[in-house]
Structure 1
Amino acid sequence: MSVKAIAAKIFAKYIRRKIDKWASHPEATQEKVFRELISKGSNTQFGKDHDFGNIKTHADFVKNVPVRDYEELRSYVDKMVAGEPDVLWPGKPLYYAKTSGTTSGAKYIPLTKDSMPTHIKAARNAILCYIEETGNAEFVDGKMIFLQGSPELQEKNGVKLGRLSGIVAHYVPGYLQRNRMPSWETNCIEDWETKVEAIVEETKDENMTVISGIPSWVQMYFERLKQKTGKDIGDLFKNFQLFIYGGVNYEPYRSKFENLIGRKVDSIELYPASEGFFAFQDKQKEKGMLLQLDSGMFYEFIKADEFFDDNPKRFTIGEVEKGVNYVMLVSTTAGLWAYNIGDTVQFTSLKPYRLMVSGRIKHYISAFGEHVIAKEVEQAMQEATEKTGARISEFTVAPNITPGGDELPYHEWFVEFEKEPEDMNIFRDSLDESMQKQNSYYFDLIDGKILQKLKVTKIPENGFQQYMKSIGKLGGQNKLPRLSNDRNIAEKLENLIKN
C-alpha cells in the first residue's frame, strides 16, 4: 500500500469522528448555524430590510423572512451582479455559479469565501467516509475522472462566473492533481460530443480507478469507450473500483451500467447544487445521504402537499418525519435566505439524518389529482427492469389527457431501451402495478375508470440525446426531467419518432 493510501486511511478515521460528533447533536448543530447566519447577515441590505437585529428564534425568522425562489430574490441578486457589496452577505461574492433557469433566463447563484470551502470539504468527506467504512484506499493511486463543465471562467463586475463544476475544478487539491483526468485543455472544450470523444482518447489507455459524473452522461462516455475499444469497461479499466454520481437517481441506470462495465463496482451518491453541497452517501449499506448540518446551511422543510397553501408550516430539523415528502429550504453563508431550491426530499433515517431526493416541486404529474413524483416512477422502473431483465438508457413520463375517441386518458412512458423485455406487456403491467401500489390516488383513478393503465412508447437509440441536443441541453450538467405535467417534451419526442 502506498504512502498516499495509508495517509488517506488515517485521515478518513479522523474526519469520520468529526462527522459523527455533529451528526449526533443535530438540533444543537443547526441552532449554532442559525445564530451565526443571522449574526453575519444582520448588517447586509437584506438583513436590514428583514430586521435581522430582532430575530432571536426560528419563529422570528419565519415571521420576518418569507420563502423565496430565485425570481423572488432576484432584485437583491441583480444589485450584487451590478457590483454592490453587502447585499445578501458581507462583501462581494468570490464567484457566481451561472445556471440556466427555465423561467428567469440565466441565474447567478453567489459563492462566497465562507460558502465555497463547504463544497470542497463535502466532496472530500464523501470519499473519506467510503475509505473509513470499507478500508479500501488503493484507488487513490490510480487515475480519477470527473465529467464536468468547462473550468474557463468569465467575469462580471469584478466577480468570476461559470458553471459550478467548472469553478470547483480550480479547487482540486494538489495531492490529486497528478491523478485527475481529463486534461485542462479537454475540460475546456464546450461542445459536449467533441469533449466526450477527447476524453475517450485521453483515458482509454489509463489506469482509471474512480469515475464521477451524472449517470446519463457517464453512460454516454462508457458507450463511446466500448465502441472505440470493443471491451467492457471493467476489462478496459481493470482497477476501476468506484463510481461517484449525483444529480439523478442511479437505480434506473444500474443494470445497464453493470452490463457496460461487466461487473459490479461500489458507488457513492452526492447531492451537490450551486446553492450548496447538501448531502452525501456516508454508508454503503444505509439508504439515503447524510444531510450536512454543519456546513453553514440552515434547513427548513415544508410538506410538499401543503407547499402551495397560504402560510404552510416551516419545520426545522428536529420536527421532520421519515417518509414524508418535503420541499427543502436553505439559508446559507452565500446569502440565500429561506430559499426554495425546488427539490423535494424524504428522510430515510432520523438518527442520523439521512435523506433521498424524491423529485422537483415543479416536476410531477397531477393532471387528475394523482400527484405522481419522481421517486415513484423510478421505483416502478427499477422493479420492472429487475422483473423482466430489461435494460433502459433513459425515460420520461407525461400524461395524455385527451387521447381521442372513447379512449380513457393515461400516463405515457417514453422509454429508450438498451435491451427490450421479452414480453412488453409484462413490463408495462409491472410498471402499472408498482405505481398503483405506491400511489393510492393513482390506484383510485385506475380503479374508478378515470384513467386507463399506462402505455409505453419506445424511443429509438440515442433518441434522448438527440432531444437534449435539439433544445441546447446536451452536456454533463443537464438532466432530463423525469416527469412533466404537460405534453411539451412528449410532443417533441413524438416528432423525433416520426422523423
Structure 2
Amino acid sequence: MEVLNSFMTWIFKSRLGQIDYFRHNPIQVQEETFQSLIEASRKTEFGKQFHFDQIKAYQDFSKLVPLFDYETFKPFIEKTMTGKQNVIWPTEIEWFAKSSGTTSSRSKYIPVTEESLEECHYKGGKDMVSLYVNNFPDTKLFTGKSLSIGGTLEKNPLNPQGTARAGDVSAVIMQNLPIWAQIARTPSLETALMGEWEAKIEKMARETMNENVTSIAGVPTWTIVLLQRILELKKAKHILEVWPNLEVFFHGAVAFGPYRNLFKELIPSEKMRYMETYNASEGFFGIQDQPHSDELLLLLDYGIFYEFIPMEEWDKESPKVIPLSDVEVGKNYAILITTNGGLWRYKIGDTVKFTSTQPYRFRISGRTKHFINAFGEEVIVENAEAAIEYACEQTGAMISNFTAAPVYFEDSQSKGAHEWVVEFQKEPESLEQFAKLMDQKLREVNSDYDAKRHKDLALRQLILHAAPHGLFEAWLGKKGKLGGQHKVPRLSNSREYIDEILEMML
C-alpha cells in the first residue's frame, strides 16, 4: 500500500502546474473560457436566439444576453428534459442534478453535460486531492478508502421513458465515476445511492465501520449523523477507535465553523485535517488551497465564466454586472455563472466576498434570498454563523442545526426581534447566556443590526429556543427533503419555516 500511496500522490501532484497557471493568469484564463463557451454554443437554439454570432467580446455578451434565475431559465431546461437536444449546449445532455434550493419547495433540475462532469465536477475532486497532497506530503491518504455520502437517482420526470436520469449531483457524480475511483471509495455504489435516507444511514454505517477509512467527503450535518450511528454500533468513544488512520474531512455545502467543536469531540486528534470545498449542482467553484486559512481559491479553468452583481445593486431592475477583473476585496457580490453545463448568465443564489485578487480567493458570505432584513438590519448568513460559532466557543456548546426569522412589530408599542431555533448536540449551561453572546457577536459583526439594537431602539435581544434532538431532520422528512442536497434554511425574511418548526416543538 505504501508503494501505491507514493504513486497516487505523484499522480495527483501533476495537476499543480495548471492550478498555478490560472492562479497567476486569471483574467487570461477567464477570457479563454468565455470565448470557448461562446464558440461551442453559437449554433444551439439559445445561441441563435441571443445572437451569439454577433458576440466578439464580453461587452457584446453583456448587452445581448439577459440575466437568468431558475424560473426564467426553466423553459430551456424543460425543453431539454423532454428529450430535445442542442437547446442550451451542443452535446447530448443525459443527466440532471436535482436540487430543491434552500428557499423553494419546488425541485430544480440543473443540466449536467459530459463536459461539466469531466472538466468541472471531476476536476474539482481531483484538484481537491492534488492541493491536499501538496500541502501535506506525508499523507497516507491512499493506503485506505474514502467514505462519501451520496444522494439518490430517479427517472427524468418530464420524460420517464427516455434515457436521461436525474438525482442529487453527488449521485450523478458517483454513478459516472471511473472504476479506479469506485474501488477507492466506500460504501458500495448500491448503498451510496439508496433512496430511503434513514435506511441508507444504517446500511452505510454497517458497511463502512470495518473498513480502513482514511478520508471522509460530505456535508457536516449528515456526516455527524453517520458517525454517531457508527459509534453506537461499535460501542466506541470516538471515531479514531473505529478508523485509526482517518486523517482528513473534505467538507462543503454549509459553513463548518458551527460544527468544529463537535467534530473535535467525534475525532479528538490535533492531526485531523479539514478542507473546505465549494461545489454545487451548478458546478465546482472553490477549494481551500491553504491549510491554515478559511479562504477558498476561485477555480478558473473549469469551463465556468464568472460575473458578479454588487449586492447594493441586487434589487434593481437593471443591476450593474461586472466581470472578475473588476471585483474589489471586501465587497459582497452575488455570483452569475455561464458554464459548459449549458447555464447562461445564471444567478446561483450565493454571495461571496473576495479576500484577495492575487490570486482570487474568497469566502462564501450567504445567499441572495437567505437573509433577515425586516428592520433594515441586513443580517446575512455569514453574520449568523459567526454569532453561533462565537457563542459555541465561549460556552463549550455544540450545535447540529439552526434557523432564524424575524419577529415583526405587533403594535406601535412593541419591538421587533430575531427568533432562533437551535438544535444542540451539547447544550450550554445557560441558554440565556448563549443568546446574549450571540446577540453581542451579531452587534459586533453587523453595524446595521447594532444600530437597531441600540437601547432596543427597533430590535430587542434575540429570542432563542433549544430544539429537541432530531427536530430538523424530522422537519425535512415531513417536507420530503431528507438527503444530502437538502439543507435547513439558515435565515428567512418570512416566518414560514420557523413557524412550522416551532409548531412541531409543541
Superposition TM-score, scaled by structure 1 size: 0.95
The yes-or-no answer on 1:361 pairing with 2:368 is yes
In structure 1, the residue matched to 2:502 is 494
Which of 475, 479, 489 aligns to 1:467? It is 475
In structure 2, the residue matched to 1:175 is 180
Greater Cα shift, 223-232 or 325-334: 223-232
Greater Cα shift, 193-202 or 132-141: 132-141
Q: How does 1:26-425 map to 2 (within 5 A)?
A: 26-100=26-100, 103=104, 105-117=106-118, 118-150=120-152, 157-231=162-236, 232-264=238-270, 265-402=272-409, 406-425=413-432
> Quick one: distance in 2 between partners of 1:410 and 1:105?
29
Which runs of 5 or more residues in structure 2 are unaligned? none
Task: Kindly state the Cα deviation for residue 253 of structure 1 after the two structures are TM-superposed.
Answer: 0.6
Task: Kindly state the Cα deviation for residue 104 of structure 1 after the two structures are TM-superposed.
Answer: 8.0
Task: Kindly state the Cα deviation for residue 151 of structure 1 after the two structures are TM-superposed.
Answer: 5.2
The yes-or-no answer on 1:13 pairing with 2:13 is yes
Q: CA-to-partner distance for each residue in 1:57-93, whole Å, 9 max, x for gaps?
A: 2221111111101110122222212222211111321
Secondary structure (helix, strand or coil) at the match of 1:114 reads helix
Task: Kindly state the Cα deviation for residue 189 of structure 1 after the two structures are TM-superposed.
Answer: 2.1
One-letter amino acid of the structure 2 residue matched with residue 209 of structure 1: T
One-letter amino acid of the structure 1 residue matched with residue 275 of structure 2: I
Task: Kindly state the Cα deviation for residue 33 of structure 1 after the two structures are TM-superposed.
Answer: 0.6
Say if 1:401 and 1:409, in contact at 8 Å, map to a contact too.
yes
Task: Kindly state the Cα deviation for residue 172 of structure 1 after the two structures are TM-superposed.
Answer: 2.8
Task: Kindly state the Cα deviation for residue 320 of structure 1 after the two structures are TM-superposed.
Answer: 0.7
Greater Cα shift, 160-169 or 118-127: 160-169
Aligned-pair identity in percent equals 37
Greater Cα shift, 277-286 or 32-41: 277-286
Task: Kindly state the Cα deviation for residue 163 of structure 1 after the two structures are TM-superposed.
Answer: 2.2
Q: CA-to-partner distance for each residue in 1:399-456, whole Å, 9 max, x for gaps?
A: 1114679542111121112222223333222111111111111111111611111121
> Quick one: distance in 2 between partners of 1:459 and 1:440?
29
One-letter amino acid of the structure 2 residue matched with residue 470 of structure 1: K
Say if 2:153 and 2:165, in contact at 8 Å, map to a contact too.
no
Task: Kindly state the Cα deviation for residue 38 of structure 1 after the two structures are TM-superposed.
Answer: 1.1
Task: Kindly state the Cα deviation for residue 376 of structure 1 after the two structures are TM-superposed.
Answer: 0.5
Which runs of 5 or more residues in structure 1 are unaligned? none
Say if 2:145 and 2:215, in contact at 8 Å, map to a contact too.
yes
Task: Kindly state the Cα deviation for residue 50 of structure 1 after the two structures are TM-superposed.
Answer: 0.9
One-letter amino acid of the structure 2 residue matched with residue 495 of structure 1: E
> Quick one: distance in 2 between partners of 1:350 and 1:184?
40
Task: Kindly state the Cα deviation for residue 250 of structure 1 after the two structures are TM-superposed.
Answer: 0.8
Q: 1:59 to 1:341 in 2, by over 3 A?
A: same
> Quick one: distance in 1 between partners of 2:479 and 2:222?
16
Say if 2:174 and 2:189, in contact at 8 Å, map to a contact too.
no
Task: Kindly state the Cα deviation for residue 150 of structure 1 after the two structures are TM-superposed.
Answer: 2.7
Q: 1:426 to 1:59 in 2, by over 3 A?
A: same
Q: How does 1:416-435 map to 2 (within 5 A)?
A: 416-435=423-442
Task: Kindly state the Cα deviation for residue 156 of structure 1 after the two structures are TM-superposed.
Answer: 5.7
Say if 1:287 and 1:348, in contact at 8 Å, map to a contact too.
no
Task: Kindly state the Cα deviation for residue 46 of structure 1 after the two structures are TM-superposed.
Answer: 0.9
Instruction: Give the count of matched residue pairs.
Output: 498
Superposition TM-score, scaled by structure 2 size: 0.94
Q: 1:143 to 1:13 in 2, by over 3 A?
A: closer
Q: 1:165 to 1:156 in 2, by over 3 A?
A: farther
> Quick one: distance in 2 between partners of 1:260 and 1:75?
46
CA RMSD of superposed structures (Å): 1.8
> Quick one: distance in 2 between partners of 1:281 and 1:138?
20
One-letter amino acid of the structure 2 residue matched with residue 87 of structure 1: V
Say if 1:98 and 1:163, in contact at 8 Å, map to a contact too.
yes
Say if 1:98 and 1:164, in contact at 8 Å, map to a contact too.
yes
One-letter amino acid of the structure 2 residue matched with residue 230 of structure 1: K
> Quick one: distance in 2 between partners of 1:120 and 1:360?
25
> Quick one: distance in 2 between partners of 1:491 and 1:39?
49
Say if 2:121 and 2:284, in contact at 8 Å, map to a contact too.
yes
Task: Kindly state the Cα deviation for residue 142 of structure 1 after the two structures are TM-superposed.
Answer: 0.7
Which of 453, 461, 479 aligns to 2:461? It is 453
In structure 2, the residue matched to 1:477 is 485
Poorly superposed stretches of 4+, deviation over 4 Å = 101-104, 151-156, 403-407
> Quick one: distance in 2 between partners of 1:178 and 1:10?
19
One-letter amino acid of the structure 2 residue matched with residue 312 of structure 1: P
Q: 1:174 to 1:64 in 2, by over 3 A?
A: same
> Quick one: distance in 2 between partners of 1:292 and 1:416?
34
One-letter amino acid of the structure 1 residue matched with residue 44 of structure 2: T
Q: 1:108 to 1:142 in 2, by over 3 A?
A: same
> Quick one: distance in 2 between partners of 1:225 and 1:26?
44
> Quick one: distance in 1 between partners of 2:413 and 2:423?
29
Secondary structure (helix, strand or coil) at the match of 2:260 reads helix
Say if 1:347 and 1:355, in contact at 8 Å, map to a contact too.
yes
Say if 1:209 and 1:237, in contact at 8 Å, map to a contact too.
yes
> Quick one: distance in 2 between partners of 1:107 and 1:464?
22
Task: Kindly state the Cα deviation for residue 355 of structure 1 after the two structures are TM-superposed.
Answer: 1.7
